[in-house]
């Protein structure tokens, strides 16, 4: 009887524990789903896929097979390839870039400066992400042609002294990989990195695959399909495609070393050993607070983020087909908080979402002003309209390139919501109408004065 009683107690206790575990997991799942729904409502994004990796198991939200552009999350793959070649003795990490790219030069304070491979990996080369100073490749350029186009330019800081995030560093690493292996970057990555790691749904550049989720762009509080050509010479820094399923495997590789080939174990270990303090950057990864490692990705029509903690055996990746990087980052961070028992930090607003709201209002206001300007003839009012609008337009065209480090043409027609372009064009139309009306009012006034003068002269 006693033994039966003991067994019954044990069974009931186990059942209660299982129910509790399921309830906790269900609560976490509901919170994760709620965050994703909130993300889609606030950003208007229609497609988002999430993988939650925990203790060797992956859970998916959204379509785990859909392919997204992963942006700068690509850098970790390029960095791993470079470290593999360093480990094999084909690249000297402290060797100058010019040893691997013949004829390549850089200058600091008008003197020649040597940039090392290590400085590229650490984002301490002296390059920045300024398109004006270091333009990206055109659609037809090869990596070699692009490198020739930026060779000899002045660096923003002395190599090795300052951290400055730059796509230039990882595109140069892509060319170095080509030159030391006598293989194309694409072939080397596929044969030596992706296939050995079992990442069969991760692609170098745009794949011919129907599972691709088309990128989108905001405009007037909705999203619009927005295909953007992938430039071959920009792939090493930011143009891989992947899905949530492969990103789950990618997290497993970094947290569990599961089924990793011998040739890649030491390069993986080297990255982990280097990232010691919050803010450290190396080989396409950054160390955040509480031992969390990760990276974000953002292109004109996609955004993504991946974070993981090897000690907690937990990782999250979010893939989205809309460039709302700040909100995507906060979604990933909030899901990670939920999965690790921390209070969720909530979703952050993205600059492009804010701009879309502002310039949707600007467009509406501009249309109203345009209608008013068509019917107003009071000169003082027209002058006030003109002065205010000219000051506003000039301010935008001066400040935006400084804030975003890109030309106004690139901001308006590549990165920002369509509402920015529409809003500015509406304001330009109002300015044109008020200016024309001012001239007409002035001519009409001059004509009236002349007529009165003639009438007075006739009376005399």
**What is the domain-level CATH number for residue 301?**
3.40.710.10
For residues 80 and 205, state if they share a domain: yes
For residues 337 and 391, state if they share a domain: no
For residues 306 and 375, state if they share a domain: no
Per-residue pLDDT of the chain (460 residues; tens, 9 = 90+): 444 443 443 333 433 343 443 444 444 458 999 999 999 999 999 999 999 999 999 999 999 999 999 999 999 999 999 999 999 999 999 999 999 999 999 999 999 999 999 999 999 999 999 999 999 999 999 999 999 999 999 999 999 999 999 999 999 999 999 999 999 999 999 999 999 999 999 999 999 989 999 999 999 999 999 999 999 999 999 999 999 999 999 999 999 866 899 999 999 999 999 999 999 999 999 999 989 999 999 999 999 999 999 999 999 999 999 999 999 999 999 999 999 999 988 999 999 999 999 999 999 999 998 898 888 888 888 888 889 999 999 999 999 998 888 889 999 999 999 999 999 999 999 999 888 888 876 555 544 555 555 444 555 5
- Where is the domain boundary, 349, 374, 409? 349
| Residue 8 belongs to a domain | no
- Check residue 5 and give its pLDDT: 43
| Residue 345 belongs to a domain | yes
For residues 236 and 99, state if they share a domain: yes
Residue 313, domain extent: 29-349
Q: What is the pTM of this model?
A: 0.88
Residue 135 near residue 145, CB atoms below 8 Å: no
For residues 319 and 385, state if they share a domain: no
- Cα–Cα distance measured from residue 188 to residue 68, given in angstroms and rounded to the nearest whole number: 21
For residues 267 and 161, state if they share a domain: yes
| Residue 11 belongs to a domain | no
For residues 132 and 61, state if they share a domain: yes
For residues 380 and 317, state if they share a domain: no
Q: At what angle do helices 325-339 and 2-43 cross, to 10 degrees?
A: 170
For residues 65 and 179, state if they share a domain: yes
For residues 152 and 203, state if they share a domain: yes
> How many structural domains are present in the chain?
2
For residues 385 and 397, state if they share a domain: yes
Beta strand pairing status for 293-299 and 302-309? antiparallel
Q: How far is CA 243 from CA 44, 62, 212, 317, in A?
A: 21, 11, 9, 10
- Check residue 12 and give its pLDDT: 37
For residues 358 and 245, state if they share a domain: no
Q: Edge-to-edge strands of the sheet including 203-204?
A: 68-69, 240-242, 203-204
Angle (CA) 103 105 107, round 5°:
165
- Where is the domain boundary, 349, 384, 416? 349
Q: Is 289 left (phi over 0), alpha (psi -120 to 50) or beta?
A: beta
- Check residue 448 and give its pLDDT: 52
């Amino acid at each position: 009887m006693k033994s039966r009683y003991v067994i019954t107690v044990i069974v009931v206790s186990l059942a209660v524990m299982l129910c509790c575990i399921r309830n906790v997991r269900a609560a976490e799942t509901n919170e994760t789903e709620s965050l994703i729904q909130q993300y889609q409502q606030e950003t208007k994004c229609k497609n988002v896929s999430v993988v939650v990796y925990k203790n060797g198991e992956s859970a998916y939200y959204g379509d785990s097979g859909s392919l997204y552009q992963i942006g700068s999350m690509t850098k970790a793959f390029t960095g791993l390839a470079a470290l593999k070649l360093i480990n094999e003795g084909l690249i000297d990490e402290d060797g100058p870039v010019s040893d691997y790219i013949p004829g390549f030069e850089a200058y600091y304070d008008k003197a020649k400066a040597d940039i090392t491979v290590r400085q590229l990996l650490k984002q301490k080369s002296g390059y920045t992400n300024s398109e004006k100073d270091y333009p990206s490749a055109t659609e037809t350029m090869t990596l070699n042609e692009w490198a020739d186009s930026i060779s000899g330019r002045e660096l923003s800081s002395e190599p090795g002294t300052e951290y400055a995030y730059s796509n230039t560093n990882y595109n140069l690493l892509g060319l170095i990989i080509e030159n030391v292996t006598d293989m194309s970057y694409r072939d080397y990555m596929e044969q030596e990195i992706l296939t050995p790691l079992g990442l069969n749904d991760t692609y170098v550049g745009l794949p011919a695959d129907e599972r691709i989720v088309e990128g989108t762009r905001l405009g007037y509080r909705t999203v619009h399909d927005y295909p953007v050509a992938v430039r071959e010479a920009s792939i090493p820094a930011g143009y891989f495609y992947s899905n949530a399923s492969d990103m789950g495997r990618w997290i497993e590789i970094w947290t569990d070393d599961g089924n990793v080939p011998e040739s890649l174990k030491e390069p993986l270990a080297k990255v982990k050993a280097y990232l010691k303090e919050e803010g450290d950057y190396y080989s396409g990864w950054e160390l955040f607070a509480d031992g969390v490692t990760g990276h974000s990705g953002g292109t004109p029509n996609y955004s993504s983020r991946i974070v993981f903690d090897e000690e907690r055996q937990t990782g999250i990746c979010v893939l989205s087909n809309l460039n709302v990087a700040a909100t995507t980052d906060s979604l990933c961070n909030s899901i990670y908080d939920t999965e690790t028992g921390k209070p969720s930090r909530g979703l952050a607003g993205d600059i492009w979402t804010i701009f879309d709201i502002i310039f949707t209002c600007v467009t509406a206001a501009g249309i109203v002003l345009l209608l008013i300007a068509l019917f107003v003839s009071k000169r003082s009012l027209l002058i006030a309209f003109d002065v205010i609008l000219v000051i506003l337009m000039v301010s935008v065209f001066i400040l935006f390139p400084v804030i975003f480090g890109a030309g106004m043409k690139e901001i308006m027609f590549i990165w920002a919501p369509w509402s920015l372009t529409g809003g500015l064009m509406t304001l330009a139309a109002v300015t044109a109408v008020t200016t024309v009306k001012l001239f007409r009012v002035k001519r009409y006034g001059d004509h009236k004065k002349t007529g009165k003068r003639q009438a007075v002269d006739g009376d005399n």
